[in-house]
């Protein structure tokens, strides 16, 4: 790869990186001309373009005759009269192509044990789970909640649901009983698939007992069955008539299972994510359009080839794990790594050692992981990438939050050996797959920019009235045309769907991403400037400030009022900072520390450990305007430790600013 410095050197000037001739030689999209030709094809005949790709990448039981149906906008339908099955597309058809003996998944457990499974064996496993679910009466359209950690079983459970047309809803294993309960109730699921325990960083953590707790909290009467995968083998409570070991569910089941051929619009999954207001929303995805984009982006953005060993380090509890573990790589017949645990156990060299051991070629992770591994590597040579053989790598990816140029360059140099392109992929739970990203064999890369839209995606930046803003000027990120893998609805709340994503501000015509962005004057490249709503991004995990505030005030004995803002953090991107007014006198010193711990534990219990505030600041009141509005901009300055430059003359009680100066 050649590094060229573009234009004159100014302090903000960043280097442009070009893909190497060697990478370009075999790339799916080998030049900007090839990229531009696809963009042009989509512009000239939008439906023809997506229709062509849907036929080329997916196998249809019943071919579609219409590509896009806009008659009920913004409830768009894609390939609506076509029928297919996602599990057939990911498994059977690869076996039929002669890939039965090819490794589908290389699984490495927390303790380092490796299990490999071929396409044929994975298909057998999925069929047996699917038959077991059918035997329990689970059928097309039913919802199944999956609460499990990273495992072949987790991927197989998702595929088994897809096989019988049941809509899965995976709940991240770090969520609390309360969060799990809320999601179970909202989906009205008939079954939960879980495991006895999960293992993270050498520690055994409960899963099944949290399911029990969630079900006791009430509102989950729809659940008829709980299927339990054995991970630890330790003793756990089983409720007769409701709980069954997965081993017993699949015992005696056939390894063939006729797929349920579903309409392309049939909901493949629901995945809960945070918005700016209210409870987390159940993002509903389709089968046909979603799977098309999962496969297509894996093919073009990750340039996946038959002999690649692909590794996406995300958890299947997040959308990245859905699209780039469970569906995309398998739909293309790829070999992928799945790992259990954390990047820092047994030490911060885990990722590098796994890349070396499994000869990983394409590696996809989050900036927060990179930043924490940089810190560790700089402190200790043995966990520095240079202590490992990473020569198998040919492409790197980043997702979840903006990657700062310094982290980008370290990733490029120390992990990629200055020869691997980096795809900085911007997308969201709602978009199903990549929206703005370099094409690795074509797009000149600039650290910190996700560059240009994926071919066919009509991303743009507009002002509050929906008017395009010129390059060089920041604005609101929108998508002007519907695309196949877009969110179809918020489960059970179509009004909220319209309000959140197709607001009247843009006459209901543009998809509102919720992020701000700016395009470079010269290159037209996009840089994401962060959320424009009250959503925080901590270690690439989305959280609503409102959710955390509700969790804090639900500690009714202690908390009178709470406000939550984000502040920049070197490692996690953003950190949660809570401002709390207690029902008692202002605590100081050790007492304040103890209360802060109590509040953190409470948030951990209400939502999950990821939502625990890093800083808690106590005040006798919150800074408010005379009309009673919390001055959030001011809170953000305090959280950052900035000198206060805002006008505080409207502040009702300026004295509390001093109290809020101390973080616990
Ligand atoms: C896939 C995923 C979505 C939000 C999104 C944005 C941020 C994701 C990014 C990025 C800058 C990138 N985000 N990728 N910001 N550059 N490459 O992360 O989905 O969990 O729904 O989060 O994450 O703010 O709106 P999700």
Question: Tens digits of per-residue pLDDT, 253-277?
Answer: 999 999 999 999 999 999 999 877 7
Helix (H, G, I), strand (E, B) or coil at 352: helix
155 closest CA partner among 201, 236, 90: 90
Residue 1 belongs to a domain: no
Q: Distances in Å between the alpha carbon of 292 and those of 91, 158, 397?
A: 15, 17, 20
* Residue 329 shares a structural domain with residue 448: yes
Residue 357 lies in a domain: no
Domain enclosing residue 289, as ranges: 22-342+421-515
Does 130 lie in the same domain as 48? yes
- Confirm whether 401 is domain-assigned: no
Q: What is the mean pLDDT of residues 145-161?
A: 98
Nearest CA to ligand 1 atom 10: 401
Do 237 and 318 lie in one domain? The reply is yes
Same domain, 443 and 481: yes
**Global pTM?**
0.91
Segment among 187-196, 309-318, 430-439, 505-514 with least mean pLDDT: 505-514
Q: Which atom of ligand 1 is nearest to the CA of 425?
A: 17
Angle between helices 119-135 and 152-164 (to 10 degrees): 60
**Is residue 408 one of the residues assigned to a domain?**
no
Q: Does some domain include residue 366?
A: no
Secondary structure element (H or E) that encloses residue 203, with its range: strand 203-206
399 C-alpha vs ligand 1 centroid, how far in Å?
7
Q: Return the CATH number at 495.
A: 3.40.50.12780
CB atoms within 10 A of CB 113: 9
Residue nearest to atom 7 of ligand 1 (CA): 401
Kindly report the protein residue whose alpha carbon is nearest to atom 22 of ligand 1.
428
Any atom of ligand 1 within 6 Å of the Cβ of 399 = yes
Ligand 1 lined by 297 (C-beta under 6 Å): no
Residues 488 and 614 in one domain: no
For residue 450, the ligand 1 atom closest to its alpha carbon is 17
The verdict on 452 and 596 lying in the same domain is no
Based on the domain organization, do 315 and 174 belong to the same domain? yes
Number of Cβ within 10 Å of residue 407's Cβ equals 21
Ligand 1 centre to CA of 366 (Å) is 10
Alpha carbon distance 242, 69 (integer Å): 42
Residues 601 and 470 in one domain: no
What's the rounded mean pLDDT across residues 512-529? Answer: 95
Same domain, 315 and 436: yes
Give the closest residue (by CA) to ligand 1 atom 6.
Answer: 401
- Pocket of ligand 1 contains residue 321 by CB under 6 Å: no
Q: Would you state the structure tokens that stand for residue 223, as one six-digit string? A: 């659940």
Q: Are residues 493 and 601 in the same domain?
A: no
The tally of domains found in the chain comes to: 2
Mutate to test the pocket of ligand 1, among 408, 428, 436, 611 (most ligand atoms within 8 A of CB): 428
Give the Å distance between the CA of 342 and the centre of ligand 1: 21
Q: What is the CA radius of gyration of the chain?
A: 25
Q: Output the six-digit token pair for 85.
A: 């099955």
Final residue belonging to a domain, choices 480, 515, 550 = 515
pLDDT band at 650 (very low <50, low <70, confident <90, very high): low
Q: Is 221 annotated as a binding residue?
A: no
> Which tokens go with 646?
């805002």
Q: Three-state DSSP class for 54?
A: helix
Q: Is 559 annotated as a binding residue?
A: yes
Which pLDDT tens digit goes with each residue over 526-578? Answer: 999 888 888 999 998 988 888 899 899 899 889 988 999 999 999 899 999 99
* Residue-wise burial string across 430-457, b where 16 or more C-beta atoms lie within 10 A, e elsewhere: bbbbbbbbbbbbbbbbbbbbbbbbbbbb
Q: What number is the average pLDDT over the span 285-292? A: 98
Residue finishing a domain among 515, 550, 583: 515
pLDDT single digits (tens) 176-233: 999 999 999 999 999 999 999 999 999 999 999 999 999 999 999 999 999 999 999 9
Position 347 in a domain: no
Measured distance CA(607)–CA(335) in Å, rounded: 34
Whether 372 maps to a domain, the answer reads no
16 domain residue, yes or no: no
């Amino acid at each position: 790869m050649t590094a060229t410095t573009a234009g004159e050197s100014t302090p903000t000037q960043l280097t442009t990186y070009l893909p190497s001739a060697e990478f370009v030689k075999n790339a799916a999209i080998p030049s900007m001309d090839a990229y531009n030709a696809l963009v042009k094809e989509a512009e000239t005949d939008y439906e023809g373009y997506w229709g062509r790709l849907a036929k080329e990448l997916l196998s249809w039981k019943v071919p579609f005759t219409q590509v896009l149906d806009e008659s009920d906008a913004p409830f768009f339908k894609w390939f609506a009269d076509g029928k297919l099955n996602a599990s057939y597309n990911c498994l059977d058809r690869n076996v039929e192509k002669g890939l039965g003996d090819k490794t589908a998944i290389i699984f490495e457990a927390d303790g380092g044990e490796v299990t490999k499974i071929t396409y044929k064996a994975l298909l057998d496993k999925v069929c047996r789970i699917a038959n077991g679910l059918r035997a329990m009466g689970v059928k097309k359209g039913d919802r199944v909640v999956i609460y499990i950690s990273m495992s072949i079983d987790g991927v197989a459970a998702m595929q088994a649901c897809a096989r019988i047309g049941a809509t899965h809803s995976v709940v991240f294993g770090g969520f609390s009983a309360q969060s799990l309960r809320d999601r179970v109730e909202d989906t009205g699921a008939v079954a939960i698939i879980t495991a006895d325990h999960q293992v993270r960083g050498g520690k055994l953590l409960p899963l099944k007992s949290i399911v029990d707790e969630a079900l006791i909290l009430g509102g989950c009467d729809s659940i008829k069955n709980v299927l339990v995968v054995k991970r630890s083998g330790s003793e756990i409570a089983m409720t007769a008539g409701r709980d069954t070991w997965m081993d017993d569910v699949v015992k005696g089941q056939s390894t063939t299972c006729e797929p349920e051929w579903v309409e392309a619009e049939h909901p493949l999954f629901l995945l809960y994510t945070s918005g700016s207001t209210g409870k987390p929303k159940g993002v509903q995805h389709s089968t046909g359009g979603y799977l098309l984009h999962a496969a297509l982006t894996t093919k073009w953005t990750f340039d996946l080839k038959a002999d690649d060993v692909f590794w996406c380090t995300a958890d299947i509890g997040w959308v990245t794990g859905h699209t780039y573990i469970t569906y995309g790589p398998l739909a293309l017949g790829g070999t992928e790594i799945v790992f259990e645990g954390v990047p820092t156990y047994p030490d911060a060299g885990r990722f590098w050692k796994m890349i070396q051991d499994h000869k990983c070629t394409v590696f996809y992770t989050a900036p927060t992981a990179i930043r924490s591994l940089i810190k560790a590597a700089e402190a200790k040579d043995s966990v520095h990438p240079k202590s490992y053989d990473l020569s198998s790598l040919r492409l790197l990816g980043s997702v979840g939050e903006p990657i700062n140029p310094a982290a980008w360059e370290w990733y490029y140099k120390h992990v990629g050996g200055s020869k691997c392109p980096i795809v900085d992929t911007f997308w969201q739970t709602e978009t199903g797959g990549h929206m703005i990203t370099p094409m690795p064999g074509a797009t000149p890369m600039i650290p910190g920019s996700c560059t240009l839209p994926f071919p066919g995606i009509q991303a743009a930046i507009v002002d509050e009235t929906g008017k395009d803003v010129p390059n060089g000027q920041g604005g609101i990120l929108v998508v002007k045309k519907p695309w196949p893998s877009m969110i179809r609805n918020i489960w059970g709340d179509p009004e909220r769907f319209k309000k959140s994503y197709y607001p009247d501000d843009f006459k209901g015509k543009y998809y509102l991403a919720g992020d701000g962005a700016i395009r470079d004057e010269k290159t037209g490249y996009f840089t994401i400037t962060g959320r424009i709503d009250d959503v925080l991004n901590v270690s690439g995990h989305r959280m609503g400030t409102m959710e955390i505030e509700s969790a804090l005030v639900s500690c009714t004995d202690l908390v009178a009022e709470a406000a939550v803002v984000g502040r920049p953090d070197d490692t996690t991107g953003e950190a949660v900072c809570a401002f709390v007014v207690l029902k008692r006198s202002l605590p100081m010193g050790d007492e304040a520390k103890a209360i802060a711990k109590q509040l953190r534990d409470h948030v951990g219990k209400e939502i999950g450990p990821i939502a625990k505030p890093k800083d808690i600041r106590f005040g006798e009141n919150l800074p408010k305007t005379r009309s009673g509005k919390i001055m959030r901009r001011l809170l953000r300055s305090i959280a950052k430790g900035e000198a206060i430059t805002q006008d505080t003359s409207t502040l009702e009680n300026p004295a509390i600013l001093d109290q809020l100066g101390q973080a616990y």
